[in-house]
Amino acid sequence: MKVALGQFAVSREWETNLATCLDLMDRALAGGADLLVLPEGILARDIADPDLVLKSAQPLDGPFVSTLCAASRGTQLTTMMSVHTPTGDGHAFNVLIAIRHGEIIARYRKLHLYDAFAVQESKNVTPGSEVPPLVDVAGMKVGLMTCYDVRFPELARRLALDGAQVLVLPAAWVKGPLKEMHWEVLVTARALENTCYMVAVGECGERNIGNSMVVDPLGVAIAHAAEAPALVFTELDAERVAHARRVLPVLENRCFAAPQLRER
């Protein structure tokens, strides 16, 4: 599977972000990608206006997602990203979607909300309550996670036990002391402890670190962006996953049962 990591700084205007996404989709296609991963919350962002997620939220059949779906028709590209959608009760869901052939083929409402480091995502966002689905892309099974989810190993393990060979993580990782280290350690740990690929794509810009990366099933970083906008390509190999699980059979050797996510 050829993967493209589309890292950019999200504008407060959804039309600007839509144009950026369409450009990244075109460039990913031109580069032969099977999968393009974009950051978290790409409808709109303004560090001076945390309530913008509510004011800018659109339903999944709104103009932002509908235009991206239309652009995916007639291509082999699967595109994954996170957007905010209205709940109908004054909040929003943070929804990771996968688009292919003009349709939304999978959706996942973020389970773990970022109520940490003086940020309160739950002020505006309602958490999901369901385990993310697996998506088939170019013959590999892909599990879905979003940003803060990476700090909770139970979710990644559940997806790996469900059959995921790849975990995708759109993110908007906020800058702060040692936050780049947190990002790299956690992304690497989730890959290594589950012997799967981690494809982690972060927003860059004034607020967030960027640093998108792909880590392979034995903990090797095989692709990395810096702090600026970038489109990075790399290859994922199902045999590399099989090899890692033969030589490091942690999924077979575990002593604890698969974690159960509680209903909210």
Beta bridge partners of 13: none
2 burial class (0-12, 13-18, 19+ CB within 10 angstroms)? middle
- Pick the catalytic residue from 147, 196, 203, 204: 147
Establish whether 103 is a catalytic residue. Answer: no
Across the chain, where does the E strand assignment appear?
A: 2-7, 35-37, 78-86, 92-100, 103-109, 115-116, 119-120, 134-137, 140-144, 166-171, 197-202, 213-215, 221-224, 230-235
Query: Is residue 110 flagged as an active site residue?
Result: yes
Q: Which of 21, 69, 110, 121 is catalytic?
A: 110
Backbone angles phi, psi at 64, to 5 degrees: -65, -60
> Which of 40, 141, 196, 204 is flagged as catalytic?
40
Q: Which of 138, 153, 129 is nearest to 98 (CA)?
A: 138
47 φψ region: left (φ > 0), alpha (ψ -120 to 50), beta (else): alpha
* Helix, strand or coil, per DSSP, at residue 195: coil
| Active centre residues (catalytic) | 40, 110, 147
